[in-house]
Structure 1
Amino acid sequence: MNKTKTIGWVRHGKTDWNALGKIQGQTDIPLNEEGIRQAQALAERLATEGLQWDGVVSSPLSRARETARMIAERLDIPLLAPDKRLQERGFGEIEGTTEQERISRWGEQWRQTYVGQESDEEVRERGFNFLQDWLEQAGMNRLLVVSHGSFLSLMLHTLCDNLDKSYIGNMSFSIMDYNGERWQSVLHNCTLHLC
């Protein structure tokens, strides 16, 4: 008999590069003061909602790792070793550029024409590998995962095809249940804790 497993998907708090509209990718940019406040706000929300989480894991990038640490400390749950499979898409030369710089260099359709970035298939494969390992793990039935915007958008919309396509903002929180056969969205792209 399969027991339902629950995953809480969290995008890290804001960074200076987020504020400037620069793509971060796998460049290791830390949280800024606003990002720290955002992480504290979600941690407080999770502490008062009553759902008991078994642990929190993150990408090894400091903005995700620091967000996860604050959540783990507030909830008094294990902070698991970071997992490289959860890090942001590698964007190559695009990392560190603003939208205007990308348009100037690669054109209006840079998302489709730039070839130096990690493909959807590569990101999806490492995300699914992570999920498969977690699903097979005993005793960790409710897991919080702190990751990144492009990674989360791809994973969320691959697992549940009926989700709205709204932008996954900083400190967004989503919950999905897995019943042994399929994923079901419980909460999608919620930022009520930032209001």
Structure 2
Amino acid sequence: MTTIGLVRHGVTDWNQEGRMQGKNDIPLNAEGRRQAELLGRRMEDEEWDYIYSSNLGRARETADIIARHMGIQVTGYDPLLAERSFGTLEGTTEQERIDRWGPDWKNAEHGGETREAVVERGMQLLEEMERRHPGKRVLLVSHGALIGALVETLFPAFGYLGLKNTCVNVLEKTPEGWSCSLHNCVRHLENGTSCG
């Protein structure tokens, strides 16, 4: 059984301001680094064979902190793990989007990556990890839109749920298909609260 851990990066200033980041290379802020350190401490008690990261700085730094706590090196920085491109929406807050495109801004054309394209590259990456590391435990540090679209596609009953920064999602691939044993878990930020 191949196990894939999907981790969202730590928080950034743009996250806290409600700005769409997309492909913008926004760094972690102090709180994001603190979150990554807490997650790293949690991961010291878990066994992971490999860790990969998005090539964007906020995910790279999160992965580097986790890897240091785990005593391993980041295996690679993969653009397939990068955040979805949101085109002209990037850098804007919701109020700025409403001011510019109106309350129906979600249905306007913004030149970004489609959800279908995000799911396609995410599934491609999962399949590649399964082929490359069969039976291993692989941690992938990525972004909210990519992880959310993948989880929602694989497990429609979950619906859409905003993923918390540094949340952990654990997927297992068996001959019967994918299962999810952990979803949107941030017990490392919540004084040891358990996650199901």
TM-score, normalisation: structure 1: 0.92
Of the three residues 141, 149, 152, the one matched with 2:136 is: 141
Rounded Cα–Cα distance in structure 2 between residues aligned with 1:140 and 1:38:
29
1:164 is displaced (CA, Å) by 4.7
Cα offset, 1:140, TM superposition:
6.6
Q: Which residue does the alignment assign to 2:193?
A: none
Q: Distance in 2 between matches of 1:138 and 1:99?
A: 40
- In the alignment, is the contact (CA less than 8 A) between 1:93 and 1:116 conserved in 2? yes
Percent of counterpart pairs with the same letter? Answer: 44
C-alpha distance in structure 2 between counterparts of 1:124 and 1:12, whole Å? 19
Structure 1: state its 5+ residue gaps: none
The aligned counterpart of 1:166 is: 161
Which of 172, 176, 181 does residue 176 from structure 2 map onto? 181
Whether 1:20 and 2:17 are equivalent positions in the alignment is yes
One-letter amino acid of the counterpart of residue 17, structure 2: L
Question: RMSD across aligned C-alpha pairs, in angstroms?
Answer: 1.4
Q: Report if aligned partners of 2:51, 2:74 keep a CA contact under 8 Å in 1.
A: yes
The match for 1:104 is: 99
Measure the CA separation in 2 of the matches of 1:130 and 1:166: 22
**Range that drifts further, 64-73 or 102-111:** 102-111
Q: Which residues in structure 2 correspond to 1:83-122 (within 5 Å)?
A: 83-122=78-117
Q: In 2, distance between residues paired with 1:147 and 1:120?
A: 16
Counterpart secondary structure, 1:162: helix
Partner of 1:44: 41
* Counterpart Cα distance in 2 of 1:158 and 1:77: 31
Gaps of 5+ in 2: 191-196
Once the 2 structures are TM-superposed, how far is the Cα of residue 165 of structure 1 from its aligned partner? 2.8
Q: Give the structure-2-normalised TM-score.
A: 0.92
Q: Deviations over 1:105-164 (max 9, x none)?
A: 122232232341100111111111111111111467101111111111001111222225
Bigger drift between 108-117 and 79-88 goes to 108-117
Distance 2:64 2:108 in 1: 37
- CA pair 140-69 structure 1, distance change in 2 beyond 3 A: farther
Q: 1:191, CA displacement in angstroms? A: 1.3
Q: How many residues align?
A: 190
**Residue identity in the other structure for 1:174:** N
1:5 and 1:177 in contact (8 A); partners too: yes
**Structure 1: how far apart are the matches of 2:91 and 2:168?**
25
